[in-house]
Structure 1
Amino acid sequence: MLNRSTWDLLAECRLRQCQKLSTAAAFSVLACVLGRAVVAPLTWAVLSLLQGQAYTCALSEFVDPSIVPGFPLGKSPELLAQLPCEDSVSAELKPFWRDIQRHLKYQSQLIGWLLVATMSVAVFLLKCVRRSCSPLGHQQEEYWSQYRTAERSLFNSTAAAHAQLIAMQNVKSFFGFVSLDSAQKELLGEQPNSRPVCSTDWNRVTGVCLYREKNGLPLYSRIHKWATYSKDEMEKEMNEM
């Protein structure tokens, strides 16, 4: 649950009170968060059911004795609960131990495969619904995915370098000098006058961003939107001057 989409949704609710986030968009983001979160527990559940050990231990006391021919009737649930443990089974029930264990494992494996089939169909249908509701074609969806990956990678690496530059400048201002290795000296030489980013700009590029268009041109992210509107504002100021 602790992935980027979770924090984007929380930031959107905190910064903009979800005013620009429709119900469908919020549902899409929540579905993405939950879909990633349930992968691990569902995988564990399927593997456990296919092995059959947990199911056998959990349900042996509720087994119906009539499924095994010749099984003595009237046995207490406490005795039936010992069936998964071969060493604890009484001599009277030992001949039936393997048949009951096999029956419970068959049930467990059947439920496991049904769960796999249900998950597969559900994922396929959800993807079909998402594609049908998307305003983009398949190729543009692929491009948008590649753009998000490239932007996130570049943003993270640039943010790390920018944080280093600001830290270098502040440490140098405090001590009068700063101890740097060759790579840091080269970075500081390339960008000697880096400036901090104001909180307003940080808030503008933070939060959930779904596909938007401006004058027929796509806006693929909040940074893309910020860059476009910043350029328009600069051109407007220049025209006024």
Structure 2
Amino acid sequence: MDQLKRVLDFCTRYQATLNYSLVSLLTAVCEYIFSAVLFKCPCNSDNTLYGLSFLLAPAFILFLLGCVWNARMWRLVTGCHQEQGCSSCCYRHILIPALGRASVASLTWIAVALLGASFYECAASGSNRIKKLLCNGTEKMCQAQVPEIPCNKPLAEQMYKRSLNLQAQSQLLGLFLILVIVIVGVISTCVSHCRSPVSYMQLQFWKIYLKKEKELFEIKAKEHAGTLAERNINSFFQTPVQPAAPTAFQTPSNEDWQKISLLYTFSPQEQHYSMVHKFVDTDRGSTTKFRQGNMNPTVLGFVDEASLRKSET
């Protein structure tokens, strides 16, 4: 039991990292299946279009799916035209990191595809610039044979003796892309933590609080919804001869739901760990302190994500 508890604690603590790792692994597996089973380079003048389609089209689809599954993206766009607005602050501090997270699967697809080299070799073999490079720009017969390289290994070996082969180019681009992704990821993580308005220990407490708030919200929401549903169903099935007036039932107003659904903003003067916390401490959001806070630190992005997961359950 102790070992199982340690495993569960580890998974909870590094949930985001494990999610991204799982997404990357599934993307790599899908790319391998596409490359081994579905991809057949035509080896003619359509090589470039065919190869780029397999290289970029699935990446774009994965990016769109990443945007759909991204929690902060939905918090940003839901009710965007209303009171909270789509300010430049939101786009700078929320939209850009959200797009970065949504691009994990698409960048993984491109990187793995470049390392596999099949898509790039097919696409590059149809490029006029690559034809001139492999054939020294003079031999027309040679240039006509370049599109056949992906389907003709003896011809490919003969061509590659004159220049760096297309598979090696693809793998170098893939390694360079991975290097750039790692460098950007490390730098952005370091910068976001260095610019954190709270300490490391307070961040840990903050995450524990949000987890408990989420659990209690689910329990209370189920109880509240169950009581309301029971009242309505009982009233519906009463005899129409002497219908009794339904008992009064208090439920949060649309304005209250709107207030706790706003994007979280941090204020150094007020210590609130969620929009529900701020809503309660400011007399149900009726005081001016509810609107205080103009900071959207990247390191506090988990606040909005926890709130959205809470509202979806």
Question: How high is the TM-score relative to the length of structure 1?
Answer: 0.71
Aligned to 2:72: 5
One-letter code of the match for 1:40? A
2: CA distance, partners of 1:199 / 1:169: 20
Find out whether 1:54 has 2:86 as its counterpart.
no
Following superposition, the deviation at residue 218 of structure 1 comes to 1.1
Larger Rg: 1
2: CA distance, partners of 1:56 / 1:64: 12
Aligned to 1:84: 150
2: CA distance, partners of 1:85 / 1:159: 61
2: CA distance, partners of 1:12 / 1:27: 18
Contact kept? 2:259, 2:285, Cα under 8 Å: no
Per-residue Cα deviation, 1:143-188 (whole angstroms, up to 9, x for no partner): 32333344334434543443233222211111139xxxxxxxxxxx
Aligned to 1:128: 190
SS in 2 for 1:218: coil
Contact kept? 1:83, 1:101, Cα under 8 Å: no
Higher mean alpha-carbon deviation, 138-147 vs 203-212, is at 138-147
Higher mean alpha-carbon deviation, 127-136 vs 224-233, is at 224-233
2: CA distance, partners of 1:29 / 1:159: 28
Find out whether 1:200 has 2:255 as its counterpart.
yes
SS in 2 for 1:230: coil
2: CA distance, partners of 1:220 / 1:22: 22
SS in 2 for 1:139: helix
Q: 1:83 to 1:205 in 2, by over 3 A?
A: same
2: CA distance, partners of 1:26 / 1:94: 48
Aligned to 1:228: 281
Aligned to 1:173: 235
Q: 1:232 to 1:200 in 2, by over 3 A?
A: closer
Following superposition, the deviation at residue 225 of structure 1 comes to 0.5
Following superposition, the deviation at residue 78 of structure 1 comes to 4.8
2: CA distance, partners of 1:157 / 1:85: 61
Find out whether 1:41 has 2:106 as its counterpart.
yes
2: CA distance, partners of 1:232 / 1:94: 70
Aligned length: 209
1: CA distance, partners of 2:220 / 2:144: 64
Per-residue Cα deviation, 1:193-221 (whole angstroms, up to 9, x for no partner): 8632211211110110122355xx51111
Gaps of 5+ in 2: 1-66, 240-246, 287-313
1: CA distance, partners of 2:248 / 2:207: 34
Q: Residue 32 of structure 1 is aligned with which of 97, 102, 107?
A: 97
SS in 1 for 2:271: strand
% of aligned pairs identical? 27
2: CA distance, partners of 1:99 / 1:156: 66
Contact kept? 1:52, 1:108, Cα under 8 Å: yes
SS in 1 for 2:166: helix
RMSD: 3.5
Per-residue Cα deviation, 1:2-24 (whole angstroms, up to 9, x for no partner): 23312322346434244xx8744
Question: How high is the TM-score relative to the length of structure 2?
Answer: 0.56
Contact kept? 1:11, 1:206, Cα under 8 Å: no
